[in-house]
Amino acid sequence: MPFTVQQLNDDNTVGIAQLTLGINPAAAIFTETDWSGGSTATGIINLENTSALDVNYFVSADWYAAAGGTPQDARILAERLEITVTADPGGANEELYSGSLAGLIQQPPAGRLLAAANEDVEFELSLPDANATDLIQGMAIEFDLVFVAVEV
């Protein structure tokens, strides 16, 4: 067996960054009732990047049946409701997504750079007249707006 030698260079350290993303408000921005064709509502959520790293963020809607409803009802309603997501309303006013609530999955596809420490994201929810048929009478849906941040 050959001889070996070892020397020690001690007390090296590495600190790993942690991503943090705050939202305000954390409570629901939509609590709508008695909707019919043409109904619309708007809510704003402020995103805050409190980490030392730049992040891209993505937005999704996680929808499910409301109390007393069925998954089938929720699916139909998620396809009928329209949502438009706009970053920095009143500023850059960049549309991140426009389409059915069911299709709001990890949008925008490449993410959006959270360039400032925080920015507003506006959500406009609507039920177009053409989508308000007898099929959806009495239905209800619940959904969460999910933000995912990824280090750039």
The answer to whether residue 116 scores a pLDDT higher than 70 is no
CA-CA distance, 127 to 82, in Å (whole number)? 6
pLDDT of residue 28: 97
Identify whether the C-beta of residue 53 lies closer than 8 Å to the C-beta of residue 151: yes
pLDDT level of residue 45 (50, 70, 90 thresholds): very high
Q: Against a cut of 0.85, is the pTM above it?
A: yes
pLDDT in tens, 65-112: 999 999 999 999 999 999 999 999 999 999 999 999 999 999 999 999
CA-CA distance, 49 to 52, in Å (whole number)? 8
If you average pLDDT over residues 47-63, what whole number do you get?
93
